[in-house]
Amino acid sequence: MNTCVTKKLDFTVAIPTYNGGKRLPKVLELLLNQKRIENLNWEIIIIDNNSSDNTKEVIQYYQKNCSQSFLLRYFLERQQGIAFARIRAVNEARGEFIAFVDDDNLPAPDWVFQSYTFGKEHPQAGAWSGQIHGDFEISPPEDFTRIQAFLAIREHGSQEHLFDANNLRLPPGASLVVRKQAWCGSVPKELVFKGRLNKLMVGGDDTEALLYLHKAGWEIWYNPAMHIAHQIPHWRLERDYLIVLARGCGLCIFQLRLINAKNWQKPIILVKTILGNLHRILQHIIKYRGKSTTNLIAIFEINFYLASMISPFYSFRWKLDTIFKNTIVEND
């Protein structure tokens, strides 16, 4: 597990970014103008994941010209992948609570206050998230709400509740707040899923970390008082991107279900993953009757079901690759 450094502050906002030079100013301005935080000792840290644009210069400008009383710190994380960036953020953070805000997230004026207050009022909460609204460059397709969760848009109503970790119903990493003590005592130093690094765009890194928190006994909460907007550019609603996203979300399903499973449950999970998704595919084909090639939402769903069905084989391939790489290292 990670080693916690001594906490000195109440709250850390951690912004992992890759080539976010144009996006960061809008996010930083919203954070600099947060309300009801006069007595809060907090900081913003930027985790630059090998940007090739002017991200570093943007942060240097704010560091020189910001008159606020909190810290703005910058770190370069050379290991590519959002999982490495978030782990680096945890290691560098000085706050009791750590909020992960992506460089395309726009927090409401009281987002920091609501995030901090919830953590103080729920000492058993290891992680919590709120409402994530879509800020669309173009109008989304009809029935988009059926797949909006895959683009980190979450609107689960006005009542607080626990997330259903056993069924992988968990919040995304964007706009997630974690208790540093919980993360450091529960989440391994290295995660299986590193982020959407290759053409397959395999996800799972957010859910994997939360499953470890859940396994250690920490609660994971939905707090509707936290509001943040997720900017969705037009290309994220295009067919090719959505197909790759659907497949990447599906390929991690089996491996994620194994994290909290006992050994005797693993064969059952294998069978349920294959047969359950096969059933969903057949239902889908009957429902759309040939329209699945023209309906964008149907295309997304069928690709997710197919990828979920074959996720055990992807998992086995990943394990074989890992064994092979470790064998080479040992022989060297």
| Same domain as 304, residue 276 | yes
Q: Name the pTM for this structure.
A: 0.91
Of the residues 202, 234, 266, which one is the last residue of a structural domain? 234
> What tokens does 149 get?
């969760």
pLDDT of 297 reads 95
Domain assignment of residue 1, yes or no: no
pLDDT (tens digit, 9 = 90+) per residue, 124-157? 999 999 999 999 999 999 999 999 999 999 999 9
| Same domain as 164, residue 99 | yes
| Same domain as 199, residue 254 | no
From residue 198, how far is each of 217, 251, 294, 307 by CA, in Å?
A: 33, 13, 27, 16
pLDDT (tens digit, 9 = 90+) per residue, 270-281? 999 999 999 999
pLDDT (tens digit, 9 = 90+) per residue, 19-58? 999 999 999 999 999 999 999 999 999 999 999 999 999 9
Total tally of structural domains belonging to the chain: 2
pLDDT at 326 over 50: no
Of the chain, the percentage scoring pLDDT greater than 70 comes to 91
29 vs 131: CA distance, rounded Å: 20
The DSSP line for 117-145 is HHHHH-TTEEEEEEEEEEEESSPPPTTGG
> What tokens does 101 get?
């805000």
pLDDT of 330 reads 44
User: How many CA atoms are closer than 13 Å to the CA of 1, on its beta-carbon side?
Assistant: 15
pLDDT at 291 over 90: no
27 vs 201: CA distance, rounded Å: 25
Residue 296, by phi and psi: left (phi above 0), alpha (psi -120 to 50) or beta? alpha
| Same domain as 249, residue 227 | no
| Same domain as 209, residue 124 | yes
User: How many CA atoms are closer than 13 Å to the CA of 177, on its beta-carbon side?
Assistant: 30
Task: Give residues with Cβ within 8 angstroms of 185, minimum separation 6.
Answer: 1, 4, 216
User: Could you tell me the residue range of the domain that residue 77 belongs to?
Assistant: 9-234
Domain assignment of residue 53, yes or no: yes
| Same domain as 284, residue 150 | no
Of the residues 204, 234, 264, which one is the last residue of a structural domain? 234
- Can you say whether the dihedral through the CA atoms of 189, 191, 195, 199 is positive or negative? positive
pLDDT (tens digit, 9 = 90+) per residue, 250-263? 999 999 999 989 99
| Same domain as 176, residue 320 | no
CATH code of residue 99: 3.90.550.10
pLDDT of 129 reads 98
Domain assignment of residue 2, yes or no: no
- Residue 102 near residue 174 (C-beta atoms within 8 A): yes
| Same domain as 149, residue 128 | yes
Beta-ladder partners of 75: 47
pLDDT of 288 reads 87
Tell how far CA 117 is from the center of its chain. 22
Task: Tell me what the mean pLDDT of segment 201-219 comes to.
Answer: 93
Terminal-to-terminal C-alpha distance of the chain: 27
| Same domain as 158, residue 190 | yes
pLDDT of 70 reads 65
- Residue 105 near residue 229 (C-beta atoms within 8 A): yes
Of the residues 211, 234, 257, which one is the last residue of a structural domain? 234
> What tokens does 139 get?
């109008």
Domain assignment of residue 81, yes or no: yes
| Same domain as 224, residue 288 | no
| Same domain as 265, residue 207 | no
| Same domain as 280, residue 137 | no
